[in-house]
Amino acid sequence: MANWKLLDFVQSLPAELLLISMVTGAVTFVLILSTQPALADSFNVFKANSAQWMRKEVADWARSLPDNGQAGFVAWTPPTWGPILQNYEPYPGALPSDAQPLPDPADIGRPVELRAVVNERQYVLIALTSVQETPLELEITTEPVLTGPSGSSERDRVDVRVVGTIRSREYGEVIGPLFSAKDIAGIKSAMSPPEGRQIDWYLVKAPSFIGNWNDISRFPTLSLPPYGTVFLWISLDTTGLLPGDYETSIQVTSLGRTISRNVTIRLRVLPIVLPDRPDLEVIVWDVLPKEPSLRSTYLQDLRTHGVSIFFSGPPLSLQAGERLVVSSGRFWSAVAGRWISPEEAVEWRNRDQKGFEEAVRVGVRTVVREVQESSLVFDQWWLELWDEPSDSTAGIWAEVARVVKAEEPRILLIANPPAHWEQASVTLDGTFRRLAPYVDVWWPFHTHLTAEDGSHLAFMRGTGKPIGYYATPGIFVSKAETAAYGFYRKAAWQAFLHDLQGMGFWAYNSYYGNPWDDMDSGVVDWPDAAVVYPGLWGPIPSRNWEAFRDGLDDYRLLRFLSLEAARAQEASDPYSRERGVELSQALRVLAADMDKAQTVSEVEAVRDRLYDLAADWISRV
């Protein structure tokens, strides 16, 4: 919740202090970081003073509520993808410009109104805020049922999770894992694992990194600190639903008072049926566990979020329309017994070119044999020679590619040139033209979509090869609450805007050290880039991961409407052709507006216009 009145206090702090906003039990306080150990006591004192200030702020607001004190809490709905905790830039004096304030009392208790189409998901964030000065226990009770037209009941459509907060290195305490009751039970059982089950050490330590663990550790029972807040995450699944109006209710009961609040969610499903998968290649750089049941669970999670390209290496059973990328690590292990850098390959080539090329040919035959043993044919897998070829490495990349293609012309090579920057120059002549004779699939960093006035993208299009793009939000904003709508929610829209065949990001589950600890990266000074957390029985999602799926749902709707527009333009009557042109143009405008959207309200406004367009089109068909 907003803590904007701290500005005067922030500006009065000594220069050597770093102010970062955090939330524990959703009660806002300020963390003072310094290299001086003596400041620990100052931190504890200030934390207590700040928490006291926030209690007063919420208490003043609570007095404006019409039925204050009856249940001891209120339930309200902040923007699903917007910042809900403090989210500062990492420098003193900076305050959030769009932090979520306390709601207008008139908005509390209103039903949530949503629209959807068939075969997608919709999401709702619910805030449960205490309005009393003593601790409060709540019980969440709901059946996963959507009541539909004529009173029909659709079961297993509603998923209720609780939001865990987690420490980040740059943004204070932020939204982290979205826990189901089973996920929380799994963390608890890690203390005394099932017989024969080996538990990863970091799962035992997870509670110490979850800021509001004491508040949520008995979910679906919750503990609210005085004037504190806990957030629920609700997802609604429309797979296979008939069009019409649906409703569900989340019941929250104040234990000891037996007073309940119901949050009603109304869902209108439009008569549009999306395909099961987007016609878009999607990769998120995964690392699958070896244990069979966990491996299956992770694959299911990836697939239900639209992923169709896996980096896991053979053997891997693929479904229709899926691909495997054989990584450079696997390829060079087959060549040299270990991964080698482009610089090492150049040294080897200069020392013994004949021996080097023969080793590459042996590696090609080894990899081909492995994928064939996994029953994969050549167009089901791509080979990565090295990650992110640039001007300095494109030459050796092309030399190796020439040997690979000579040995087995059916192998498809993927190249992902990185961003152009001082440490890794990536230019049209130095990288793209040198790779072009051998590349089968382009997958450059997203800045190349508009680099040099579009010349990079135009060159790739001119080669006639498929084009995807990737981004690395994990390095920069993996924990920023603005990332949900700033990248993950918009990623698939950019693929539509530029008419690409694929997209993706790094990474699905890449961690440094303890996956729950954002501060222990070690050699590489980066935050953990993952969008899921490792649970006992499978991945625990984050809001960023769900935002990515939501954007892919939008992409499928965009593609559905664009195909409808194309059919209309091929119709015999002028009216249909004109309407098809108008629809096609409107979709491009929407995609461009989404690409430019900077705030969650702007993002959601574009999404609303998409549904308006869909509803209008269907009403006229």
Per-residue 3-state assignment (H helix, E strand, C coil) for 380-432: HEEEECCCCCCCCCHHHHHHHHHHHHHHCCCCEEEECCCCCECCECCCHHHHH
What pLDDT score was predicted for residue 38? 36
What is the DSSP code (8-state) at residue 542?
A: B
Residues 6+ apart with CB under 8 A from 282: 306, 307, 308, 309, 502, 503, 504, 552
| Rounded-to-integer distance, Cα 182 and Cα 94, Å | 38
What is the mean pLDDT of the segment spanning 9-30? 34
- Residue 600's nearest CA partner among 83, 76, 177 is 83
What pLDDT score was predicted for residue 104? 83
CA distances to 30, 80, 372, 475, 480 from 171, rounded to whole Å, are 12, 19, 47, 13, 6
pLDDT tens readout for residues 264-312: 999 999 999 999 888 999 999 998 988 888 999 999 999 999 999 998 6
pLDDT tens readout for residues 213-222: 999 999 999 9
pLDDT tier at 69 (50, 70, 90 boundaries)?
A: low
| Rounded-to-integer distance, Cα 401 and Cα 360, Å | 10
What pLDDT score was predicted for residue 519? 85
Does 477 or 13 have the greater pLDDT score?
A: 477
Q: Exposed e or buried b for every residue in 192-231, given b needs 16+ CB within 10 A?
A: eeeeeeebeebbeebbebbbbbebbbebbebbbbbbbbbb
Is residue 193 pLDDT above 50, yes or no? yes
What pLDDT score was predicted for residue 570? 95
Is the pTM higher than 0.75? The answer reads yes
What pLDDT score was predicted for residue 86? 52
| Rounded-to-integer distance, Cα 226 and Cα 231, Å | 15
What pLDDT score was predicted for residue 313? 65
What pLDDT score was predicted for residue 475? 81
